[in-house]
């Protein structure tokens, strides 16, 4: 009997964890995507360096304005992935795996919470699964940036369980503890309250959206704890409510500090979004119905939902009427279904931070915003799956069966839309399909065309309808300016950008300055390029690699203008050139690499060759640059020219049969279509590779297989070139 009881207590949470993990496990293989992942991970120095005392201090610093919220424990969790599991931008599997594990653990914590709310083991299992497998969870779990959702939910649910352990449920009738339950000792209660406070504070340091949690606990004091009478007319209601509210004062300083830090950080990074309060209040009810509709009918799910602040009056009134009807039903059924009010309170309280009352840049609603509020739906439905009288067992069996069918359908939908996050291209293709001509999706897809093919005319064709629909959108106009640069002239691109309305937040403004500085650099207006590049660099945090392009352009502009003093001063602002005493064209190598990354490949290639011609004897430099040109997915340099320069490098090298040089020669020959020569070169390289370097031998064998199949070797070498030449990008500038 004891064994059976033990199995019934441990099997459901184990099975729950396994099912949730299995459903979301495919996301572990996904790369990072170009939607905040780069800012949060790739370009975030304190993250990609891992856990160090200095980086821990930086994570808690108010000067860390990587994101619009103060969330130091989020940065620490990413650092732990790097230090403990070897996570990186090139190996993001640990980042994804931790997200999936946290979500599965939160499902288990929700199961335990529902059991405390008197749900049966099977009922709690179904309701926890309902929350965990719903398609609205995909965005929070599969997107590395949204670790803040999964980690905050984990801390929030753990804090709630700790709070409930400090206050065992009372009998629902008399209000006295059941005879079988001994009142907890003061030490026991104080210990769990302290633990709840620690977990709550930790959750707030991940995501300030946990601020309403103690208010939700106040409703749990009504049910299931019965520490406050359910009826406001009860004489004990007011003193019990005051006493319960006073107990929550311990958490008020945490909540106040988190709310203040969140608003201050948001204003520092994005500025104050000027949305009138009338519009904010009017948007609350329609936004709530947006989430309710997505919960009931999870169709058309997509990140980056277009902003909407103005709703027709009829829409607002109808939304208010629907919300009032829902509230009326909840109040009417509160006695027969006591879990409805606490669950609905959880939903509403956690919805408020994402309701539109506090405007967020680029978002009024988003699927991920309902990650925390939707926990309340499972809480509200506890009474629905609770058996009451024996005569109702058959009806309960029907309800359970319907739930199982619903869960299977939801899990199938989740599995189908999970690949949305399998690549940047898949992500923005999905956005553009659900929201045609969505500015950010079109700009990324157009930029992808330019980077992969150099076909600016095709990119401009994709941009045209989106620009017609959103003529003032800065993101679209930046990509259009790039197209004008290559299809017309730098001057035409500058004139086009000059008509763009300045963005409201500092990062977007900095990006616009970087683009202007680039165009002015190409146009030969070096003073203007220097001015805009310095303005952009000043808008970024000192330790952010996002300021790298701005500093590179500023250095290049000053050098080209002949202002070596300013160029040297700018060089010293960077980490790699901090000890420089002179500047030369070699200092422009980071600029050439970033021009390539910004899809200005003809300009980058010209600068690469200027640098090479100034250093004819630097074989390592020649080898790295020519390797990048020979292995690029698209290059403006003819393959024959790359091969010619590679042969010149080999002839000038004191060790012409060095396997590294022969490897570059082989990929250049394959790039030029001469696979027979490529096979001979790679075989010569294999003959020269020492036995102590088996990894290099394996790479050569792989390339030989490609050449035998008449396939060139491709990789994003210039990103790796930056790391190999200067160290980690976060350590460099």
Cα–Cα distance for residue pair 394/4, rounded to 1 Å: 24
- In this structure, is the dihedral angle defined by the CA atoms of residues 685, 687, 693 and 694, taken in order, positive or negative? positive
* 282 within some domain: yes
Task: Let me know: does 536 contact 571? Beta carbons within 8 Å.
Answer: no
> Are residue 444 and residue 466 in the same domain, yes or no?
yes
**Domain C-terminal end among 469, 501, 533:** 501
Same domain, 265 and 299: yes
pLDDT tens per residue across span 675-724:
999 999 999 999 998 888 898 999 999 999 999 999 999 988 886 665 54
Asked if 99 and 27 count as a contact pair (C-beta separation under 8 A), the reply is yes
Asked if residues 587 and 571 have their Cβ atoms less than 8 Å apart, the reply is yes
Domain membership of residue 609 (yes or no) is no
The residue written with tokens 């984990």 in the block is 154
H/E element, 100: helix 93-116
pLDDT confidence tier of residue 539, bands split at 50, 70 and 90: confident
The pLDDT value given to residue 171: 54
- Rounded-to-integer distance, Cα 339 and Cα 545, Å: 49
- Percent over 70 (pLDDT), the chain: 92
Same domain, 467 and 350: no
Same domain, 167 and 209: yes
Least confident of 59-63, 251-255, 543-547: 543-547
Structural contact between residues 184 and 207, judged by C-beta atoms closer than 8 angstroms = no
In this structure, are residues 351 and 291 in contact, taking their beta carbons and an 8 Å threshold?
A: yes
CATH code of the domain covering residue 661: 1.25.40
Q: 361 with 483, same domain? A: no
Task: Out of 444, 477, 501, pick the residue that ends a domain.
Answer: 501
Asked if residue 194 is part of any domain, the answer here is yes
Contact present, 253 and 487 (Cβ < 8 Å): no
Statement to judge: residues 341 and 353 lie in one domain: yes
346 pLDDT above the threshold of 90: yes
Question: Do residues 355 and 96 make contact, with C-beta atoms less than 8 angstroms apart?
Answer: no
Judged against a pLDDT cut of 90, whether residue 9 lies above it is answered with: no
- What does the pLDDT read at residue 183? 61
User: What pLDDT score does 728 carry?
Assistant: 37
Task: Mark whether 299 and 323 lie in a shared domain.
Answer: yes
Dihedral (CA of 285, 291, 293, 295) sign: negative
DSSP annotation string for 38-91: IIIIITBHHHHT-S-HHHHHHHH-TT--SSSS--HHHHHHHHHHHHHH---SS-
Which candidate, 454, 513, 445, places its Cα nearest to that of 486?
454
Q: Looking at residues 235-264, what average pLDDT do you find? A: 88
Specify the number of domains making up the chain.
4
Residue 182 and residue 270 in one domain: yes
Domain hosting 481: range is 436-501
Buried/exposed code over 586-608 (b: 16+ C-beta within 10 A; e: otherwise): ebbbbbbbbbbbbbbbbbbbebb
What pLDDT, on a 0 to 100 scale, did the predictor assign at position 189?
85
- Tell me, yes or no, whether 722 lies in a domain: yes
Rg (CA), the chain: 30
CA proximity to 383, closest of 110, 112, 111, 124: 124
Shared-domain flag, residues 629 and 592: no
Q: What is the pLDDT of residue 612?
A: 93
What average pLDDT does range 47-65 have in this prediction?
Answer: 87
> pLDDT tens for residues 518-530?
999 999 999 999 9
Contact 194, 55 (CB under 8 A): no
The closest of 151, 303, 331 to 230, measured between CA atoms, is 331
pLDDT-based confidence at 164, cuts 50/70/90?
very high
In this structure, the answer to whether residues 396 and 538 fall within a common structural domain is: no
- 170 with 190, same domain: the answer is yes
Q: What is the 3-state secondary structure (H, E, C) of 176-199?
A: CCCCCCCCCCHHHHHHHHHHHHHH
Indicate the residue among 501, 530, 555 that finishes a domain.
501
Q: Is position 300 within any domain?
A: yes
Is 431 a member of any domain? no
Is 424 contained in some domain? no
Q: Given a cut of 90, is residue 172 above it in pLDDT? A: no
Q: Tell me if 542 is assigned to some domain.
A: yes
Name the token pair of 370: 């309902």
245 and 173 housed in the same domain: yes
Orientation of helix 474-487 relative to helix 456-469, angle to 10°: 150
At 565, which CATH number? 1.25.40.10
Structure confidence at residue 233 (pLDDT): 84
């Amino acid at each position: 009997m004891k064994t059976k009881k033990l199995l019934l207590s441990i099997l459901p949470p184990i099975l729950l964890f396994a099912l949730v993990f299995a459903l979301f496990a495919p996301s572990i293989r996904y790369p990072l995507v170009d939607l905040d992942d780069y800012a949060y991970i790739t370009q975030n120095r304190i993250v990609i360096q891992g856990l160090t005392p200095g980086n821990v201090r930086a994570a808690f610093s108010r000067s860390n304005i990587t994101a619009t919220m103060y969330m130091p424990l989020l940065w620490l969790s990413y650092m732990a992935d790097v230090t403990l599991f070897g996570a990186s931008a090139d190996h993001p599997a640990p980042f994804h795996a931790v997200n999936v594990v946290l979500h599965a653990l939160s499902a288990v914590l929700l199961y335990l919470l529902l059991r405390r709310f008197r749900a049966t083991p099977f009922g709690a299992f179904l309701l926890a699964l309902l929350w965990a497998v719903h398609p609205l969870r995909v965005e929070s779990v599969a997107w590395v940036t949204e670790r803040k959702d999964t980690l905050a939910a984990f801390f929030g649910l753990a804090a709630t369980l700790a709070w409930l352990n400090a206050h065992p449920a009372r009998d629902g009738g008399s209000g006295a503890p059941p005879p079988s339950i001994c009142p907890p000792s003061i030490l026991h209660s104080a210990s769990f309250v302290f633990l709840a406070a620690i977990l709550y504070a930790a959750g707030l340091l991940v995501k300030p959206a946990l601020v309403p949690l103690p208010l939700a606990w106040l409703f749990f004091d009504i049910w299931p704890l019965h520490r406050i009478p359910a009826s406001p007319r009860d004489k004990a209601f007011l003193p019990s409510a005051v006493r319960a509210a006073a107990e929550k004062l311990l958490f008020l300083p945490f909540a106040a500090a988190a709310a203040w830090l969140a608003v201050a950080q948001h204003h520092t990074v994005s500025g104050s979004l000027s949305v009138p309060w009338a519009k904010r209040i009017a948007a609350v009810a329609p936004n709530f119905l947006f989430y309710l509709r997505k919960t009931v009918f999870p169709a058309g799910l997509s990140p980056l939902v277009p902003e909407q602040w103005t709703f027709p009056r009829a829409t607002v009134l109808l939304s208010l009427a629907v919300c009032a009807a829902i509230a009326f039903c909840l109040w009417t059924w509160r006695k027969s279904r006591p879990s409805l009010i606490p669950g609905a309170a959880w939903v509403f309280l956690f919805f408020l931070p994402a309701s539109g009352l506090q405007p967020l840049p680029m978002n009024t609603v988003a699927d991920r915003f309902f990650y925390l509020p939707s926990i309340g739906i499972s809480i509200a439905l506890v009474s629905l799956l609770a058996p009451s009288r024996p005569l109702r067992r058959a009806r309960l069996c029907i309800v359970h069966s319907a739930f199982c069918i619903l869960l299977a359908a939801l899990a199938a939908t989740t599995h189908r839309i999970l690949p949305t996050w399998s690549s940047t291209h898949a992500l923005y293709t999905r956005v553009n399909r659900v929201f045609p001509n969505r500015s950010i999706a079109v700009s990324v897809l157009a930029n992808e065309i330019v980077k992969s093919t150099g076909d600016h005319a095709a990119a401009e064709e994709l941009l045209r309808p989106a620009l017609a629909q959103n003529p003032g959108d800065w993101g679209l106009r930046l990509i259009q300016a790039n197209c004008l640069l290559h299809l017309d002239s730098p001057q035409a691109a500058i004139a086009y950008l000059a008509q763009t309305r300045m963005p409201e937040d500092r990062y977007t403004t900095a990006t616009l300055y970087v683009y202007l500085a680039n165009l002015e650099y190409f146009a030969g207006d070096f003073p203007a390029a220097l001015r805009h590049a310095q303005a952009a660099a000043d808008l970024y945090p000192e330790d952010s690699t996002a300021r790298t392009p701005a500093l590179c352009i500023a250095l290049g502009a000053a050098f080209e203008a002949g202002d070596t003093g300013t160029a040297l001063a700018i060089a010293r602002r960077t980490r790699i050139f901090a000890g420089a005493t002179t500047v030369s064209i070699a200092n422009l190598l980071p600029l050439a690499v970033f021009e390539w990354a910004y899809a200005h490949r003809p300009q980058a290639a010209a600068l690469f060759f200027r640098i090479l011609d100034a250093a004819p004897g630097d074989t390592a430099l020649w080898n790295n640059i020519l390797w990048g040109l020979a292995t690029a997915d698209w290059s403006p340099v003819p393959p024959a020219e790359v091969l010619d320069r590679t042969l010149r490098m080999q002839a000038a090298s004191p060790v012409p049969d060095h396997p590294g040089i022969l490897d570059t020669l082989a990929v250049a020959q394959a790039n030029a279509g001469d696979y027979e020569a490529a096979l001979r070169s790679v075989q010569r390289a294999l003959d020269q590779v020492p036995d102590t370097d088996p990894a290099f031998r394996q790479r050569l064998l792989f390339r030989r297989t490609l050449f035998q199949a008449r396939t060139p070797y491709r990789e994003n070498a210039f990103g790796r070139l930056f790391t190999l030449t200067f160290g980690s990008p976060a350590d460099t500038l």
